[in-house]
A and B are shown apart, each in its own frame.
Chain A
Amino acid sequence: MLFNSHQFAIFFPVVTLLYFMLPHRARWGLLLAASCAFYMAFVPAYILILAVTIIIDYVAAIYIDKTSGRFKKLWLVGSIVSTCLVLVVFKYFNFINANLDALAHFIGWNYPVKALGFLLPIGLSFHTFQSLSYVIEVYRGHLKPERHFGIYSLYVMFYPQLVAGPIERPQNLLHQFREPHRFDYDRVTSGLWLMAWGFFKKCVIADRLAVYVNGIYGHPTEFSGLVLVLATVAFAYQIYCDFSGYSDIAIGTARVMGFKLMTNFNRPYASTSIAEFWKRWHISLSTWFRDYVYLPLGGNRVPRARWYFNLLLTFVISGLWHGANWTFILWGALNGFYLVMGLVSAPFRAMVKRTLGMAPEEAGSQFFRTACTFALTCFAWIFFRSNTMADAWHIVTHFWRPSNAPLFAVPGFSAYDAVIVLFAMAVLEMGQWLQQRGEIRPYLRRLPVPIRWPLYYAFLFFILVFGLFQRSQFIYFQF
């Protein structure tokens, strides 16, 4: 079920109402049933894959806790391998197969293995990673295994974050299912407000920008110059609003029921370096890779060359996590390369700044660094968004060439859409800026109802009237 569907408009109030009406002991059952219904709205049969992952990791965690030494490790490895196997079969098999086929063709061998005709189960990478973090935390002794199968299943399947995160850690989420949550007016309204903000990002900005971006990136070879630059910047905002919008709706939905999910985005495009960007973008995934890939590889407590390798490898894996395509791998590698180059060039950049007498906190310097970071990020997004490597190559080699093509020559995207999206982006930036200076809600709550409610209504009508609700999927669902 999509958050921006009419089904969810019925599903959410009904589940929330039932949740608060039921006694605490029955709530997990309701949430689990609701989560199953939510997931089965996509492809019902795929819940069986989820069930297999849940059972394997549930049993494995108990045995990891029970056993010690070699057996403990064996259970961990078995659990990780079997969970990842599901991911490999459904997500990476066709990619590996296509590459082997191309290689065999190149050598002149006959390659008989056919591609699988599966659809990628929605959000597979998300719940796989959430399951993995559970068994690893149990293995590390940070957590006792959850004996209640229903509660554990709910940890993996909790519907607000089931299909696109945030990827929660068991220490943060599991115990919350055992805590009784009372109806709290302030918390409920704060959750609803966050959901509205998420819908604003998704339906007004991301989906409207998608029309323009898809029009250009669908046939990039027909364009060059400023159109490609504009489409890439538009995609940067589209993916941010799409994914952070989803996260806001997920966190808001959970908050209404009393659950606290981790923050996933923190104004990433305001970052002054790529390293900072990755502390602000998809935080739940970045920290996952930090804790379960980068640090076990040795992190930065290794010789410098190995440190750089660790960074690169972590980002290549992160790229591969996003999608089974060379474009994603290159996107990950490029981000790793940025980080390594940032470390290598740090002394040189410090020297330049000293020579020019630039203070790091100076507004001009901050702006320059933010602009450079945004430009580098946008350059990397070219690979992320391109359908093929050939498309990406065309964009990279043509975006600086002059072009006479009109900027908005995309069917379905008119000056009307451009005005709406620019206004909405201004509202977004202003909202985020105000949020950074202090929460908006306390300020709003100081206003009397005759002023405050019309503001709320205006915002809601703005979303309804200027949003697109044609049930477009969230970008990160495909991962």
Chain B
Amino acid sequence: MEPSTRSSDGQLFPTARPCCGFRARLVWFPLIFLTLCWPVQLLLIRGLNQCEGGNVGTLNQVVRGSLDAQILISGSSRAVYHFDPRIIERHAGKKTFNIGRDGTKLDEQLALLKTYLRHHSKPECVIQNLDGFSLRANDGVTDPMQYMGSLKEPELYQAAVSQRRYFMIYRYFPLVGFVREGAIKPAIQGLLGISDAAENRFQGYRPQNLTWTSEFATFKKQHASGVEWPVDAGGRQALQGIMELCQKEGIKLVLVYSPEYIESQLLTRNRSEIFNAFHSMANAFQAPVWDYSQDPISADKNCFYNSQHLNQNGASLFSEKVGNRLANYYYSNPSLR
């Protein structure tokens, strides 16, 4: 007799004769599904690798190996928003690129620097931007989505998996990471060639066309007695790793503490401890520390949109200063000329 199915209104429909028993179907259906996940994942990786904007765009440019900068700027959001490579390039006369990424900590920045060196010829100089909380040990991956297309890069994968073990699942099980970290949308946008204008970067620099916001007032209200940023072994180790890498590769390293709004500096209770640590570590590697926290820019609210980040105007002024100083630095260092 022909197999049939009854609908809700009692009508009988002939059912397609099953190709195999239900046990076989229970095995085959998910098996085929899982197999199909791989080509879908490959397609999405391709899409993500085509993204140009945001952290993922910067990461893609590093992995593609087509930058070959002579001056490389590394750091977190304060690097991304503060250093305009176009201005620095004009002053120093050297090809400059900013590989800073929002929300990244020193260990992630070290991993990207290593990845950069594997895909490019080494730069002459690395500018490593520092933050008040740079020496705090990393306790997670702030923007995991950016790594979904680059998990085959050993340094990046190691940095991510050392923070979150589940990156192992992301690497070996298709689509899990993409789905969980919301990487599908940028991947499809990458495939379709759609870019978000707000994410556009210029040689890695992202200008912030903003005026002073209420963020700092809120922060001050929440932390009236100030804050204390930890100086951890993990943070020190990561900074030391950057310095060792540059020393080993013969790259000049300049540590820069870019402008921070003056009122905010007063709120950091252990500021001297943090700066002592920066200086003592830098001295051990004979790396200069350029501290712009006492520069007039740091006292000018018009240059900032919050206590930690310069706006476009502030970033231009700061980049001019760094560019000039760098040109002099090059002039006074015969090895760099």
Contact = CB atoms under 8 A, between A and B. Distances in A.
A443 B11 CA distance: 11
Contact of B19 (A439, A446, A449): A449
A53 to B, nearest CB: 34
A457 B26 CA distance: 14
Contacts of B62: none
Given A457-B32, A457-B33, A461-B40, A442 B13 contact: yes
A442 B7 contact: yes
A464 B25 CA distance: 22
B5 interface: yes
Interface in B178-206: 179-180, 182, 184-185, 188-189, 194, 196
A25 interface: no
Interface string A451-466: 0110011001100111
B172 interface: no
Interface in A417-458: 417, 438-439, 441-443, 445-449, 452-453, 456-457
B13 A445 contact: yes
A309 interface: no
Contacts of A439: 7-8
B179 A443 contact: no
B33 A460 contact: yes
B32 A465 contact: no
A12 to B, nearest CB: 13
B180 A469 contact: yes
Contacts of A448: 16
Contact of A414 (B15, B22, B196): B196
Interface in B92-148: none
Interface residues of B, number: 32
B189 A416 contact: yes
A470 interface: yes
A395 B196 CA distance: 30
B261 to A, nearest CB: 25
Interface string A109-138: 000000000000000000000000000000
Nearest to A450: B19
A446 B16 contact: yes
A468 interface: yes
Interface string B268-298: 0000000000000000000000000000000
A6 interface: yes
A185 interface: yes
A414 B185 CA distance: 11
Contacts of B33: 457, 460
B16 A457 contact: no
Contacts of B36: 457, 461
A183 to B, nearest CB: 9
A456 B29 CA distance: 10
B184 A465 contact: yes
B180 A6 contact: yes
B32 A441 contact: no
Interface string B243-257: 000000000000000
Contact of A465 (B15, B25, B29, B188): B188
A438 B32 contact: no
Contacts of B5: 186, 441-442, 445-446
Nearest to B169: A6
Contacts of B6: 442
A446 B14 contact: yes
Nearest to B196: A414
Contacts of A464: 40, 175, 179, 184
B281 to A, nearest CB: 38
A438 B19 contact: no
A438 B8 CA distance: 7
Given A457-B32, A464-B175, A469-B179, A452 B13 contact: no
A460 B15 CA distance: 22
A447 B184 contact: no
A134 to B, nearest CB: 30
Contacts of B19: 449
Contacts of A417: 185
Contacts of A6: 176, 180
B184 A449 contact: no
Given A438-B9, A445-B15, A465-B188, A453 B32 contact: yes
Given A438-B8, A460-B33, 10 more contacts: A414-B196, A416-B189, A438-B7, A446-B5, A446-B14, A447-B16, A456-B29, A457-B32, A469-B180, A469-B182
25 contacts: A6-B176, A185-B25, A416-B189, A416-B194, A438-B7, A438-B8, A438-B11, A442-B6, A442-B15, A445-B15, A446-B5, A446-B15, A446-B16, A447-B16, A449-B19, A453-B32, A457-B32, A457-B33, A464-B179, A464-B184, A465-B40, A465-B188, A469-B180, A469-B182, A470-B182
